[in-house]
Structure 1
Amino acid sequence: MSEAAAPTEAAVLRKAALRLVPFLGLLYFTAYLDRVNVGYAALTMNADIGLSAAAYGLGAGIFFIGYFLFEVPSNLILEKVGARVWIARIMVTWGLLSAGMAFVDGPTAFYVLRFLLGVAEAGFFPGMILYLTYWFPWAQRAKIVAAFMMAIPISSVIGAPLSTALLDTSLFGLKGWQTMFILEGVPAAVLGVVVFFVLADRPAAAKWLTPAEKQVLQTAVDRDQQAAPHHLSGLGAALAQPKVWGLAIVYFGAIMGNYGLGFWLPQIVKGFGGLTNVQTGLLSALPYLISAVAMFLWSRHSDRTGERLWHFAGPAVLGAAAFVVAAQTTDPVAQFSALALATICINCALPMFWSFPTQFLRAAAAAGGIAFINSIGNLAGYVGPSAMGFAKEATGFYGGGLLVLAGSLALAAVLAVVIGRRSAAATV
């Protein structure tokens, strides 16, 4: 593009970001809250329905088995039918199932509903990552993905005090945790209907863009789609590429730290002693409040410098060290500080990760490859919470589980550096 046209492109990208990112962030906020609010419900639900620590960890994580099985097919369907239709379907079904969690009455029902919730939500996050590639070029994508993924810490900043407050609220004769599931599940189904009517599949379908703006935006995105020797466009080629499998393992390590801590942090904090449910929620939200600011600043620095690899590996290594410190101390202040640092590091690293696969995957390879990486990675959402639960049940402490999370993050950092350096050498 000419220098004179560059400001127009920047203005159109800014317009698209202001229009799309807050709305998509709201959708992800709702999704993530409905995925992890079981961590807050556990403060009272476990005793009510007879869940042991191990049973809770297994049920919290079994969500990701359903998620894994249906992730790739879901994203391939999204590419064919469009984000508007498929994201709407995902949100309505997961919203109803999330509200249905209010009626679990024992371990079996808990396992079944969590599994079905994973099936329903499969494809949402990788679908959003794929969708953003239709609208924003790679050079701006770290900042855009980070802004979208700020829904993760914000869901805890808002969700932690909200969910724990609802634990003390009873509607229609239901217990607090039942009220929480219903009041936090129904909005997802409502938003699903909104998505069907307002979301544009691609720039050409956006009524809020002028014809000239559509052309400028499509030209910016098309520059990323031009074939290069290291680009993959076929699904088979993507799944046969060792780098895709390696990135799936990297993501597995990062996600294991994220969910292994996320599902258990409220119970760890409550275990410090002397805290009400609401106080537990407020304290649990603090690391995520800091994370929201840190991940935005970190991603903006990455976009400004154009560097991705060490912006991922650095926080991952620091987060691993923080988990080791948390595992070795019994002092509540020291342990909470270490867990807060680990939370901040993980949230800074995760948006950086998605700049790796979206740089070389195209077309069907992008739809299937992103979903494959996400599905493999999210199996860690089963392993992490389960490891924490078994460690707590076996020893009475969380230390063993935290060391497992530390190892997973360290592995992710090391493997990312290896893959990154080999990829750089191959494209020189």
Structure 2
Amino acid sequence: MLKDSKIWKLALFYFAGYTSIYGLSFWIPTIIKSLSENATTNLEIGWLAMIPSLVGIPAVMFVGWNSDRTNAHKSHLLVCLMIAVIGFIGCGFSDSVFMMVLMLTITSFGLYGFSGCFFAYMTFFFTESTAPVGIALVNSFAALGGFVGPMILGTVAFTQGMFILSGLLVIGVITLLSLKLTSASDENIVKEVEVNINQL
């Protein structure tokens, strides 16, 4: 399975999203504080930092539900990542607490929505026998994003970090576009997964 390019494409795609999610979630309070000019208390910062995550909850549920309903997981992933890219770019240009919280909320909608349907999409590339190893490989590589994401925003200025993360998501979009279910074996995997879903 290590020779399968789809494994590494899925891993790179998930790494891009995983890095962005962790980079954002670790630094949201500090990002808001940096724009508050000491006019916002720690309690207020906590409430403001909670808004993006609250918006992320319905995003996970809606994108996951709608992608399963329409069987259009790839297009949902593309839309979510593009929303997150726009949000990150907006964060890079934000110069007020209001605009930053708004852009962070948009970004969170895209990032959390992405996580809501990625695992369903990934199953189309594996059979029951290959799924445990394949999913473990993808997760193991992507887990590095839990270190890389916070490190990016902790090393460079927040504005630069936002643009770096948006660039990483663009790489993720390009990688996703290169993933295709074309072979007969891939079609059999899709049918197998659909049968299992219908049985549930």
For normalisation by structure 1, the TM-score amounts to 0.41
What's the C-alpha RMSD, in Å, of the aligned pairs?
A: 1.6
Q: 2:162 and 2:109 mapped to 1: Cα distance?
A: 16
Match of 2:144 in 1: 379
Deviations 1:166-187 (Å, cap 9, x if unpaired)?
xxxxxxxxxxxxxxxxxxxxxx
**Alpha-carbon separation, structure 1, partners of 2:27 and 2:52:** 14
Partner deviation per Cα, 1:136-155 (whole Å, 9 max, x = no partner): xxxxxxxxxxxxxxxxxxxx
Structure 1 residue 245 corresponds to structure 2 residue 8:
yes
What is the one-letter code of the residue matched to 1:343? S
State the identity as a percent.
26
Describe how 1:353-372 pairs up with structure 2 within 5 A: 353-363=118-128, 365-372=130-137
Q: What residue number does 1:389 align with?
A: 154
Are 1:306 and 2:71 counterparts? yes
Task: Give secondary structure in 2 for the equivalent of 1:355.
Answer: helix
The one of 102, 112, 130 aligned to 1:337: 102
Gaps of 5+ in 1: 1-237, 393-397
What is the CA distance between 1:361 and its match in structure 2? 2.1
Question: Which AA in structure 2 matches 1:321?
Answer: I
| SS at 1:263 equivalent | helix
Taking the aligned partners of 2:116 and 2:3, their CA distance within structure 1 comes to: 25
Q: What is the number of residues matched between the two proteins?
A: 183
Kindly report structure 1 stretches of 4+ aligned residues shifted beyond 3 Å. Answer: none
Q: TM-score, normalised by structure 2?
A: 0.85
- 8 A Cα contact 1:319 1:406, kept in partner: yes
Residue number among 259, 273, 290 corresponding to 2:22 in the alignment? 259
Equivalent residue for 2:61?
Answer: 296
Match runs of 1:313-352 below 5 Å: 313-352=78-117
2:175 alignment counterpart: 415
**Aligned residue number for residue 31 of structure 2:** 268
- Which secondary structure state, in structure 2, belongs to the residue aligned with residue 330 of structure 1? coil
Kept in 2, the 8 Å contact 1:244–1:357? The answer is no
Aligned position for 2:183? 426
| SS state at 1:271 partner | helix
How big is the shift at 1:363? Answer: 4.5
Higher Rg? 1
- Judge conservation of contact 1:291–1:343 (CA < 8 Å) in 2: yes
Tell me how far apart the structure 2 counterparts of residues 348 and 363 of structure 1 sit (CA, whole Å).
Answer: 26
The whole-number CA distance in structure 2 between the counterparts of 1:338 and 1:239 is 38
CA offsets 1:252-304 (integer angstroms, 9 cap, x no match)? 11111101111100111222322222222211111111111122122211111
